[in-house]
Amino acid sequence: MKIELDKTYNPREIETKWYEHWEKSGYFSPKVNAAKKPFVIVIPPPNVTGILHMGHALNNTIQDILIRWHRMRQEPTLWVPGTDHAGIATQNVVEKKLAKQNKTRHDFSREEFLSEVWKWKEEHGSTIVRQLRRLGASCDWTRERFTMDEGLSKAVREAFVRLYEKDMIYQGYRIINWCPRCHTALSDEEAPHKELEGMLYYIKYPVKGKTGEHITVATTRPETMLGDTAVAVNPKDERYHAIHHHKIILPLVDRELSVIQDEFVDPDFGSGIVKVTPAHDPNDFEMGQRHKLEFINVLNPDGTINEKGGAYAGMDRFKARKQIVEDLEAQGLLVKKVSHLHAVGHCYRCHTVIEPYYSKQWFVKMRPLADMAAKAVREQKVNFVPDRWTKVYLNWMDNIRDWCISRQIWWGHQIPVWYCDNKNCKPIVSRENPTKCPACGSAKLKQDEDVLDTWFSSWLWPFSTLGWPEKTPDLKCFYPTSDLVTASEIIFFWVARMIMAGCEFMGAAPFNTVNIHGTIRTETGQKMSKSLGNIIDPLDVIDHVGADALRFSLMMITGAGQDAFLSPEKFEIGRNFTNKIWNACRFVFMNMKTESFDNFELTAEKIKNLGWVDQWILSELNRSIDETNRALETYRFNDACGTLYHFFWHDFCDWYVELSKQKLSEKVFLHVLEKSLRLLHPLMPFQTEEIWQKLKLITKKDLGETISLAEWPVSNKSQVFDAAVKKAELLKDVVFLLRNFRAENDIDPKKGIHVAIDSQDALIKELSSEIKLLVRAEEVAFKSGVKGWLKVGVVKGAVVYVDASKDIDIAKRKKAIEDNVKKLEGYLKALDAKLANDDFKKRAPKEVYDGELAKQQESLQKLNHFKDEQKALETLS
């Protein structure tokens, strides 16, 4: 059967065709085999609101490579996919949609609003999941999960109740990060600090009963003074001993404040006196507790001043700040303002400046969890790749603070706590919805209105997706998972907490290896983001060059764990490579006598009788298999790409295919091609499958159903032939020399040249036909005492001549030789000095010394030949 490939590779139909076939055929579901250790990855669940961006493309390509590689190694392989309900983000999206109809969520009941969100989820939530398929991600879609599906919601309740029962969840009044735009509390991780150029205001507070006397406090947030309930000084600060027992009058409000003494106050900062606002600053909160101060909250949830703010009530916090400064100035109480660089928390969802806010929230006690999780990493139950992240992780664990898990939004897992109508009854914390109060029997119960932090469901992901808390076969078989692949941004949010949850609920860390990859950036180093308009859309890239090219390009340019700087041109590397592979295969298919290849497995017997070129390419293949494995084992995907790129393009196409006009074994040809496709498959799944299937038809060989289940190549020492490799090196050297000579002398590419070689080496005499072919030589003669020809150069002791009666540009040749002589003389000078150094002779290993010596000999010989040639050219001209 004659099978032809199209002239250029057209990924579009091929990709859709194969993905559908793979999924339908169930290749992505693991073949459970108790005797074999499974390889398992859980996907970092993208937000349901998400659309595939380059970061996802990178992240999921890495996972897919690992998964496909292990699958081909015939391990039971599972990649669990799914999406995250992304509480705040999703609610924001739906609220924005409602805003277009001039509505807010408060125009709906909670139930109505939630049904709007579910509706949105059903319509748009599968976008990213479809896009992952286009990338080629070989997830087991039969096991797809969602953080709010029934099973995972059950897991969330189970976790909450267990922690509550162990006294590791508590409710209390604390200062938390409050987003005035999202109207909710946030965890510390959700309120990253950003440096802002602000103002430090120095304000006079009058001392009571001492007209004209005042103290000066410094603050960056003057509006919080409305909630001041004390001023504080350091007890050791002698400047202020005199005022310890005085009362201070709070301007604008006329509240009477005591002076408290607290070690926290740094006498060297500002004036050395701190205004204390226990309800709006974490430090002041601590002081407030220590000194039993009053907590006055002056803010509404939306960031406006509340009724406690007197004249400023109703004003936005920033407007109030401006107004208060103006008013103080008018009263002569503003001493000065100086610009001041400080770090301010921002909401990670909407980037609004967060407000430290005193309110009642639910918290998880982190110390015991952190200790366990840190231990798991210290004992190498979990390993970070690259290793430098270990320190980052441990440092965070050491400085952990309790986790605020309640959110004042509607979309999410509602907190499983109910309050009885009878205020004297204790809250009911329950896995199931209770119908009546166990204490008083009342049926009037009200569930806590808050929902849990989205990450409270994500941290259970590695086992909740496998069925926990039920004891399912999947859980037993696939937990703990093998690798986790993610970006550094979510080490604290997610990775660290998953390790905690795994240790706490499963008694074992959830994965062995955490592979942290870099961030995708633009050419100029910016983060890619929609708002900056600097996105390169992976789906565009797939449309233009195909998923394989996208994947390969990404992997090729991303050093292990390093950030990747992208521009559209970067994807040409993958496009060109897919094209090269395609055309090489096209060539093979066009030239093979298809009838004779029903079997191209190589037996030891066959291999022994192969020609040296075949032996050489087999040697390179086996070396490449080893290198690829080493690269994949150490998560060096760019090395794996580089190895296979070089092998396929340069060894296979440039040399082997070029030499294929000589007598080569077509069996070896197909063998190498087929093995190459397997090696490339994890990187470029679509194209390799397409070609492999064609190969199957041509060879009529039963290779199996799909390349994605074909066995991963194993290297074989008996297929490495040092002599053949040496011979190839020699051939390449002679060919380079003569090609260079041709180019240097502008010899018409179509014109044959006459070559003579003077050498004692028998090996080179076996290369005449190859040399003829590759340098377009009319003849290659082996003889000594060549007279009247031009000496071109010396290769491993063999002197190479070309018939000088042809059109050689003598002047150019002279110049080339002169350059060579100069270079060689410089090199020899350095070598001579090195070898003359007694210390080098004494201390360097013998191999190194001998190596240098041999180099000296060879260079000397070359130099002499060039000098001879110079003389000969003199007589010629």
User: Considering only residues 575-594, where is the footprint of RNA by CB under 7 A?
Assistant: 575-576, 578-580, 583-584, 586-587, 590-591
- What is the per-residue binding string for RNA in 386-415, x denoting contact by CB under 7 A? --x--xx--xx--x----------------
Binder of RNA out of 37, 193, 244, 351 (CB under 7 A): 193
Task: Determine if 837 is a binding residue for RNA (CB under 7 A).
Answer: yes
Task: Determine if 318 is a binding residue for RNA (CB under 7 A).
Answer: no
Task: Determine if 274 is a binding residue for RNA (CB under 7 A).
Answer: yes
Q: Restricting to residues 478-497, name those near RNA by CB under 7 A.
A: 488-489, 492
The identity of residue 160, as a single letter, is: F
Distance of CA 646 to the CA centre of its chain: 24
Beta partners for residue 258, in sequence order: 230, 247
- Rounded distance, CA 253 to CA 280, Å? 17
Task: Determine if 568 is a binding residue for RNA (CB under 7 A).
Answer: no
Task: Determine if 559 is a binding residue for RNA (CB under 7 A).
Answer: yes
Which residue's CB is nearer to RNA, number 658 or number 666?
658
Cβ 512 to RNA shortest distance, Å: 21
Binder of RNA out of 1, 604, 762, 830 (CB under 7 A): 830
Residue with tokens 């449309």: 543
Which residue's CB is nearer to RNA, number 256 or number 266?
266
Cβ 582 to RNA shortest distance, Å: 8
Task: Determine if 831 is a binding residue for RNA (CB under 7 A).
Answer: yes
For 715, phi then psi, to 5°, come to -75, 155
According to DSSP, residue 47 is labeled: B
Cβ 556 to RNA shortest distance, Å: 8
For 835, phi then psi, to 5°, come to -70, -25
Which residue's CB is nearer to RNA, number 773 or number 786?
773
- Rounded distance, CA 448 to CA 406, Å? 10
Region binding RNA by CB under 7 A among candidate stretches 91-99, 124-132, 193-201, 466-474: 193-201
Which residue's CB is nearer to RNA, number 368 or number 826?
826
- Rounded distance, CA 355 to CA 191, Å? 10
Task: Determine if 620 is a binding residue for RNA (CB under 7 A).
Answer: no
How big is the chain by its Cα radius of gyration, in Å? 37
For 781, phi then psi, to 5°, come to -105, 145
The identity of residue 624, as a single letter, is: S
Binder of RNA out of 74, 220, 258, 383 (CB under 7 A): 220
Q: Restricting to residues 852-871, name those near RNA by CB under 7 A.
A: 855, 859
- 483 with 512: CB under 8 angstroms? yes
DSSP labels, 739-781: HHHHHHTT--TTS-EEEEEE-S-HHHHTTHHHHHHHHTEEEEE
Q: Counting Cβ atoms within 10 Å, is residue 733 exposed (0-12), middle (13-18) or buried (19+)?
A: middle
According to DSSP, residue 267 is labeled: T
Nearest to 492 by CA among 168, 195, 190, 193: 190
DSSP labels, 296-350: ---B-TTSBB-GGGGGGTTSBHHHHHHHHHHHHHHTT-EEEEEEEEEEEEB-TTT
- What is the per-residue binding string for RNA in 227-266, x denoting contact by CB under 7 A? -------------------------------------xxx
Cβ 343 to RNA shortest distance, Å: 4
Nearest to 216 by CA among 83, 366, 333: 333
Task: Determine if 639 is a binding residue for RNA (CB under 7 A).
Answer: yes
State the helix-helix crossing angle for 127-135 and 54-72, rounded to 10 degrees: 50
SS3 category, 252: coil
- Rounded distance, CA 840 to CA 365, Å? 63
Task: Determine if 649 is a binding residue for RNA (CB under 7 A).
Answer: yes
Which residue's CB is nearer to RNA, number 4 or number 167?
4
Task: Determine if 11 is a binding residue for RNA (CB under 7 A).
Answer: no
Q: Restricting to residues 747-786, name those near RNA by CB under 7 A.
A: 749-750
Which residue's CB is nearer to RNA, number 94 or number 680?
680
Cβ 604 to RNA shortest distance, Å: 30
- Rounded distance, CA 597 to CA 8, Å? 25
Cβ 377 to RNA shortest distance, Å: 15
Binder of RNA out of 835, 844, 860, 872 (CB under 7 A): 844
Binder of RNA out of 149, 188, 537, 733 (CB under 7 A): 188
Task: Determine if 507 is a binding residue for RNA (CB under 7 A).
Answer: no
Q: Restricting to residues 339-378, name those near RNA by CB under 7 A.
A: 342-343
Count of residues binding RNA (CB under 7 A)? 94
Task: Determine if 189 is a binding residue for RNA (CB under 7 A).
Answer: yes
Which residue's CB is nearer to RNA, number 209 or number 525?
525
Binder of RNA out of 562, 596, 599, 857 (CB under 7 A): 562
Cβ 455 to RNA shortest distance, Å: 14
Task: Determine if 108 is a binding residue for RNA (CB under 7 A).
Answer: no
Residue with tokens 């090609």: 739
Altogether, the residues listed in the chain come to a count of: 877
- 386 with 562: CB under 8 angstroms? no
Which residue's CB is nearer to RNA, number 539 or number 773?
773
- Rounded distance, CA 779 to CA 754, Å? 5
Cis amide bond preceding 480, omega within 30: yes
Q: Restricting to residues 798-827, name those near RNA by CB under 7 A.
A: 823-824, 827
Task: Determine if 335 is a binding residue for RNA (CB under 7 A).
Answer: no
Task: Determine if 843 is a binding residue for RNA (CB under 7 A).
Answer: yes
Residue with tokens 């499983």: 416
Distance of CA 576 to the CA centre of its chain: 24
Tally the C-alpha atoms within 13 A of residue 581's C-alpha that lie toward its C-beta: 34
- Rounded distance, CA 846 to CA 841, Å? 8
Which runs of consecutive H residues, i.e. helices, occur in 189-334?
282-290, 317-330
For 566, phi then psi, to 5°, come to -110, 145
Cβ 465 to RNA shortest distance, Å: 26
Q: What are the tokens at 39?
A: 């390889």
Cβ 10 to RNA shortest distance, Å: 8
Q: Restricting to residues 685-744, name those near RNA by CB under 7 A.
A: 735-736, 739-740, 742-744
Region binding RNA by CB under 7 A among candidate stretches 55-63, 293-301, 571-579, 754-762: 571-579
Cβ 249 to RNA shortest distance, Å: 18
Cβ 219 to RNA shortest distance, Å: 4
Cβ 199 to RNA shortest distance, Å: 11
Cβ 156 to RNA shortest distance, Å: 25
Beta partners for residue 754, in sequence order: 779
Region binding RNA by CB under 7 A among candidate stretches 145-153, 448-456, 572-580, 664-672: 572-580
Binder of RNA out of 151, 235, 282, 797 (CB under 7 A): 282
Task: Determine if 321 is a binding residue for RNA (CB under 7 A).
Answer: no
Task: Determine if 303 is a binding residue for RNA (CB under 7 A).
Answer: no
Q: Restricting to residues 525-544, name those near RNA by CB under 7 A.
A: 525
Q: Restricting to residues 656-695, name those near RNA by CB under 7 A.
A: 657-658
Cβ 335 to RNA shortest distance, Å: 13
Cβ 758 to RNA shortest distance, Å: 21
**693, 806, 808 from 751: Cα distances, Å:** 42, 10, 13
**228, 247, 474, 703, 822 from 258: Cα distances, Å:** 10, 5, 63, 86, 88
- Rounded distance, CA 290 to CA 533, Å? 50
